[in-house]
Amino acid sequence: MAKTNFSVMGDAVAEPMSNPRSWARSHSTYIAGRAYLDEADQTAAEMEAKWGADRLRLLVAPELREKFDRQRYLFNQAIWHGELEEVRQQSMRMVRAWLALDTAATQAGKGKLDPQVWEIAVPDLDKPDDPTAASYVAAIVPDHQHARAVSAEGRKVVVYTLEEIARLLAAMPSIAKSKVVFPGASVTAVRRAIDDPLDGVHDTENGLDDDLNDI
């Protein structure tokens, strides 16, 4: 997958109080790292909104795609195994990598995602431990007429009209009922929003710079 966001598009960042990685050994370093990771995540989300889910890397030349994929690897490596400075460095490089793809696709005259088409990668439930795994891309359109604006371009895309979504909701009354009974309730299986880094802090008993590995 082309994603880099660790909430939807890349490796999931563990909470600092649970098996902290080296860059997240304290609340202070966790917050610092998340500031840079959020920037990369936000850029990836913007590129998906502009070009479509997992589509942009397929619109550029193989040489640039290879460089992009190598940078994705280094970015995820930093998240899982790097120190804070590596997270900062690779996050900034990941942002530049996304922008390079954006520029190349624009200069090549590639078509952007139609504003009437909304796309999102549907997670692969057979791989619950891999938040980046997707079984297909769901393209949501107002009606069948707009379905012609969907472009697969090497991806497995399933098109849903609003009428079909309504029928799916009718077939899943428990989910539909929860949204009616609890206004503002959300189904949180897949999210494209960026999390608040302080949501990963269980309490404030420890100092910002306390080493969580020693607790």
- Give residue limits of the domains in the chain: 118-181
> Residues in the chain, how many?
215
- CA gap 162, 66 in Å, rounded: 37
pLDDT of residue 207: 65
pLDDT of residue 14: 39
In a 13 Å sphere around the CA of 130, the CA atoms on its Cβ side amount to: 12
pLDDT of residue 74: 92
pLDDT of 30 over the 90 cut: yes
* Residue pLDDT, tens place only, 175-194: 767 666 666 666 555 444 55
Under the phi-then-psi rule, with left for phi > 0, alpha for psi from -120 to 50, and beta for the rest, what region is 212? alpha
Bridge partners, 134 (sequence order): 123
What are the structure tokens assigned to 161, written together?
């009209």
pLDDT of residue 39: 96
pLDDT of 201 over the 80 cut: no
pLDDT of residue 49: 82
* Residue pLDDT, tens place only, 147-175: 777 777 777 888 888 888 888 888 877 77
Closest by CA position to 122, among listed 149, 154, 70, 160:
160
| Residue 162 contacts residue 143 (beta carbons within 8 Å) | yes
* Residue pLDDT, tens place only, 202-211: 555 566 577 7
* Confidence band for 29, pLDDT divided at 50, 70 and 90: very high
Decide: pTM greater than 0.95. Answer: no
> Mean pLDDT in the chain?
77
Query: Which residues neighbour 139 within 8 Å (Cβ) at sequence distance 6 or greater?
Result: 117, 118, 119, 147, 150, 157, 158, 159, 160
- CA gap 155, 95 in Å, rounded: 23
pLDDT of 141 over the 70 cut: yes
pLDDT of residue 12: 38
* Confidence band for 44, pLDDT divided at 50, 70 and 90: very high
* Structure-model confidence comparison of residues 181 and 135, the more confident one: 135
Give the strands of the sheet with 118-123, arranged side by side: 118-123, 134-141, 157-161
